[in-house]
């Protein structure tokens, strides 16, 4: 993993407005991304991981959203960028792969034209050069017949091919950073594996940093370099992937991993995490946010204002409750 840091997020807060009040959906998130690194951000639906991704590239409606903190790219804080400044970076420096390719592609334009759009906006290539680059990109993402595909409309392609087109668009200007927001959600397992393998291959080829937003821990175990686990708007644990899977510490991380079906296990019952993620309005803003879902752990085990602590080298965990955590049916240590 290269050590060159290409993105740094410091104390990021993203709040959404309900009537006249703002509520933080992302609450004090900090992390960095390095060249040729795949950082996975995982957690249940509603934990704030996609909100982090959208905040980085300024995709929120500013009338209903308030973003503060620092998003440092190329030595500058992008939180303060105007729409024009963000447009210069989106697609050129930072590529974005959306969750739903059918909703992201224009149904009225041919594939080739949609890939060339970013090249028109961000490069000085002439028409022939753009066409050549577009075909090269389709080939790069594994489309078997680029010329034919370039002439088709989105509805004529399979889900896997549409997702490859989105990746081609994200790669078109050789970005330094690629953000992939649940890029395989709507695909079957075989196509999922192909798309994820493609991302890793491209990461190594263009030396980009990738932020992968996902809820699928199986995917993360196979391909991530580092993993940040989010719960209720905060990062609760962050570590290198091998370390996190071999030595998960936060109760939420351990609960998530315990919930994954194991093919080599005789136990037919899956672990179920108590309760639900609290809604944005009812989110407890003091104390450990996971405490209500592990009620058998004494209140004294939690911090009043939980912070991320480096408990092992490059392994950070929020709150002290991990020290004496046990699953309900295990009893204490």
DSSP states of 142-206: T-S-HHHHHTS-GGGS-HHHHHHHHHHHHHTT--SEEEEESTTTTS-HHHHHHHHHHHHHHHHHH
pLDDT for position 265: 58
- Residue 155 in tokens: 């509805």
pLDDT for position 281: 85
pLDDT for position 333: 46
Q: Which long-range contacts (CB under 8 A, 24 or more apart) does 273-281 make?
A: 274/328, 277/44, 277/45, 277/46, 277/47, 277/231, 277/232, 278/232, 280/16, 280/18, 280/23, 280/25, 281/18, 281/23
pLDDT for position 280: 86
| Spans of the chain below 70 pLDDT | 1-2, 262-270, 331-333
pLDDT for position 239: 98
pLDDT for position 219: 83
Pairing of strands 315-318, 308-312: antiparallel
Residue extents of the structural domains in the chain: 255-262+269-330
């Amino acid at each position: 993993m290269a050590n060159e840091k290409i993105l740094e997020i410091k104390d990021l807060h993203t709040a959404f407005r309900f009537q006249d009040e703002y509520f933080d959906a992302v609450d004090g998130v900090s992390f960095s991304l390095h060249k040729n690194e795949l950082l996975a951000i995982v957690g249940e639906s509603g934990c704030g991981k996609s909100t982090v991704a959208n905040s980085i590239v300024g995709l929120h409606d500013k009338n209903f959203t308030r973003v503060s903190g620092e998003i440092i790219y190329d030595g500058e804080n992008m939180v303060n960028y105007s729409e024009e400044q963000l447009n210069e970076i989106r697609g050129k420096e930072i590529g974005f792969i959306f969750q739903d390719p059918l909703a992201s592609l224009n149904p009225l334009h041919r594939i080739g034209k949609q890939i060339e759009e970013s090249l028109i906006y961000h490069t000085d290539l002439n028409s022939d050069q753009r066409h050549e680059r577009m075909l090269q990109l389709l080939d790069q993402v594994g489309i078997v017949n680029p010329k034919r595909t370039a002439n088709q409309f989105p509805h004529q392609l399979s889900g896997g091919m549409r997702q490859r087109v989105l990746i081609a668009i994200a790669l078109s200007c050789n970005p330094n950073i690629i953000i992939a927001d649940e890029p395989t959600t709507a695909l079957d397992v075989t196509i999922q594996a192909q798309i994820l393998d493609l991302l890793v291959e491209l990461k190594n080829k263009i030396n980009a940093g990738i932020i992968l937003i996902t809820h699928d821990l199986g995917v993360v175990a196979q391909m991530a370099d580092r993993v940040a686990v989010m719960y209720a708007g905060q990062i609760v644990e962050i570590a290198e992937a091998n370390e996190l899977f071999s030595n998960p510490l936060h109760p939420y991380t351990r609960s998530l991993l315990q919930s994954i079906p194991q093919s080599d296990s005789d136990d037919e019952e899956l672990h179920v995490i108590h309760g639900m993620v609290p809604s944005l309005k009812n989110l407890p803003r003091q104390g450990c946010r996971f405490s209500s879902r592990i009620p058998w752990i004494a209140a004294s085990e939690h911090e009043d204002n939980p912070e991320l602590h480096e408990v092992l080298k490059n392994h950070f965990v929020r709150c002290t409750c991990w020290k004496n955590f046990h699953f309900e049916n295990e009893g204490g240590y």
